[in-house]
Structure 1
Amino acid sequence: MAREKLKRRARGRRSPLAAGILIGVGLLMTGGIYAGASAAVAATDEATPITASVDEGEKLFQANCATCHGMDLEGSSAGPALHGVGALAVEFQVSTGRMPMQMQGPQAAEKPVQFTDEQTQALAAYVESIAPGPAYPAETVLDGRGDVSHGAELFRINCAMCHNVAAAGGALTEGKFAPDIMDTSALNIYAAMVTGPQNMPVFSNMNLTEDDKRDIISALLYQQEMASPGGFTLGSLGPVSEGLFIWIFGIGGLIAVAVWITAKSN
């Protein structure tokens, strides 16, 4: 009986290495958590800060935006609430001239910008102070030095069905449209992906990481700067516009020449 008890105790004893293994696992987990937190803080620190005057932004908002969006950003029958839209949505809407909206319609269209860059940043700072949301990205996201090939592939998968593979835009339902983005700045491309204006979906970091967004921006900037090797782009709308051009001007020209030759011979 005594021997059996000793055997059971021996079997129940933990290995002398167990404590060391547990300590090592704990250290690894602690180090991983610390590294992740440090990276998150670093990413936050790299974001472009807003230094504009909140007071100036409040005055501009009350004079130009509150009629539709409400004095406290609560919205009205003429415009949506701005709770949670953040600075980046204001930057996109105001710097492209979409806001203030000229008239009600299926969607806000681009028009001449009504505010200076400083006023736009002041408006963004005011809205951010009341309704925090997506903020300005780090400068590296907008530098155009990402993977152009990968960005072009991501654009074709996620964006081309609306914006056209050549980023020339296209028609949507109910009078809405995906705009041409061949003249859009890197910041506004990023803002559109993050805030999802009009009918555009929001691409969070779960859908497209910051590196993915950087690659897409790089591909679009490269496409904007690249000259068309084929001459006239015809809107880059594909074979429909090209075929129509050939039919009207090409075949029409041949018919005109044939009629001229026949008339001259007679």
Structure 2
Amino acid sequence: MRLLTRKISARLSARRRSRFAAPAVLILGLLATGGAWAALAPAGAEEAGPDTDAIAAGRALFAVSCSSCHGLNGEGIVTKKGNQYGPPLIGVGAAAVDFQVESGRMPMAQPGAQAVRKRPVFTKEETAQLAAFVASLGAGPAIPTKDEYDPAKGDVARGGQFFRTNCTACHNFAGSGGALPKGKFAPSLIGVSSKHIFEAMQTGPQQMPVFSNGVLSPQDKRDIIAYLKKQEDTPSYGGFTLGSVGPVAEGMFAWLVGIGGLVGFGIWITAGSARVKKTNKKGANA
């Protein structure tokens, strides 16, 4: 037995001294490591690269419809006075493009103080292509998934607190919007889709501040959306809302309907008394 053991040890020692031993061990180790990774790696570990076809199609659309204001490569165009004719789009992300184009704000019909919501010019497919191209120019917020802006996953009470703290100064307590300096305005949030509300908070369109995930977490944004959607579904138990724009509409209603009605009633009374006096005079002369 001892003799057999010595013979086996001698043979293994001889093979270890072979010049092919080290490369063979290295190759076996690499094969074992690769096989273990292939077997144990989680599904979806490989990230899909950018859709080059969508980026190319988006570049063509951008060159025709957007480059006159934003430049061929999204670098922006500066006027002779030093103002931005079209702001740069590098780093704004796909979410900003999706919001602006899908809501019809871009492309603008004509330059103005603020882009207004209108019927979208591009289809959903073309909007996605434009978003892919702009996203390729620089890292920025991506288009949110349905799970991120689902109001069913939000807390209405917390959303009301966040909205009253951060949003009512511009958008009004009921989300009906309001006037801002220099001809601008905060748009109404009534009837706006949950995705567009999320994207607006994420990207800060026009004069709106950016509420990044560091300022308002995705859950905070969902809470605000849940509150706004609850506001839309809640009937007005107090009567006429007058647009829910506050004391301006209420004051106008008081002046036109209230005081105007009293003035009209007073004129009717005085006109009636004048007719009575006229009839009495005629009867006395007869």
TM-score (norm 2): 0.71
- Once residues 51 and 265 of structure 2 are traced to their aligned partners in structure 1, the CA distance between those partners, rounded to angstroms, is 64
The residue aligned with 1:53 is 54
Superposition misfits of 4+ residues, deviation over 6 angstroms: 49-52
> Is 1:252 equivalent to 2:260 in the alignment?
yes
One-letter code of the match for 2:210? V
In structure 2, stretches of 5+ residues that fail to align are 1-43, 79-84, 276-286
Q: Structure 1's 52 and 219: CA in aligned 2 closer, same or farther, altered over 3 A?
A: farther
- State the SS of the aligned residue for 1:162: helix
One-letter code of the match for 1:56? A
1:233 deviates by: 1.9
RMSD of equivalent CA atoms: 2.4
The residue aligned with 2:3 is none
> Is 1:62 equivalent to 2:63 in the alignment?
yes
> Is 1:87 equivalent to 2:99 in the alignment?
no
> Is 1:192 equivalent to 2:200 in the alignment?
yes
1:50 deviates by: 8.6
Query: Which digits, 9 at most, give the CA deviation of each residue in 1:226-253, with x for residues without a partner?
Result: 2323343212111232122022112211
Is the radius of gyration larger for structure 1 or structure 2?
2
> Is 1:121 equivalent to 2:122 in the alignment?
no
The residue aligned with 1:108 is 115
- Once residues 183 and 113 of structure 1 are traced to their aligned partners in structure 2, the CA distance between those partners, rounded to angstroms, is 16
TM-score (norm 1): 0.76
- Once residues 236 and 180 of structure 1 are traced to their aligned partners in structure 2, the CA distance between those partners, rounded to angstroms, is 10
- State the SS of the aligned residue for 1:136: coil
Alignment of 1:128-167 (within 5 A): 128-145=135-152, 146-167=154-175
The residue aligned with 2:11 is none
Residues 171 and 178, structure 1, Cα contact 8 Å, conserved in 2: yes
Residues 146 and 195, structure 2, Cα contact 8 Å, conserved in 1: no
Q: Which has the higher contact order (CA 8 A, sep 6+)?
A: 1
The residue aligned with 1:71 is 72
1:61 deviates by: 1.0
- State the SS of the aligned residue for 1:141: coil
Residues 52 and 121, structure 1, Cα contact 8 Å, conserved in 2: no
1:129 deviates by: 2.2
- Once residues 63 and 230 of structure 1 are traced to their aligned partners in structure 2, the CA distance between those partners, rounded to angstroms, is 51
Identity of aligned residues (%): 52
The residue aligned with 1:180 is 188
Residues 106 and 175, structure 1, Cα contact 8 Å, conserved in 2: yes
- State the SS of the aligned residue for 2:151: coil
1:136 deviates by: 1.9
1:99 deviates by: 0.7
Query: Which digits, 9 at most, give the CA deviation of each residue in 1:138-196, with x for residues without a partner?
Result: 32222212111110110010010011111111111122211111121111111111111
The residue aligned with 2:221 is 213
- Once residues 75 and 227 of structure 1 are traced to their aligned partners in structure 2, the CA distance between those partners, rounded to angstroms, is 45
The residue aligned with 2:237 is 229
In structure 1, stretches of 5+ residues that fail to align are 1-40
- Once residues 241 and 107 of structure 1 are traced to their aligned partners in structure 2, the CA distance between those partners, rounded to angstroms, is 23
Question: How many pairs does the alignment contain?
Answer: 221
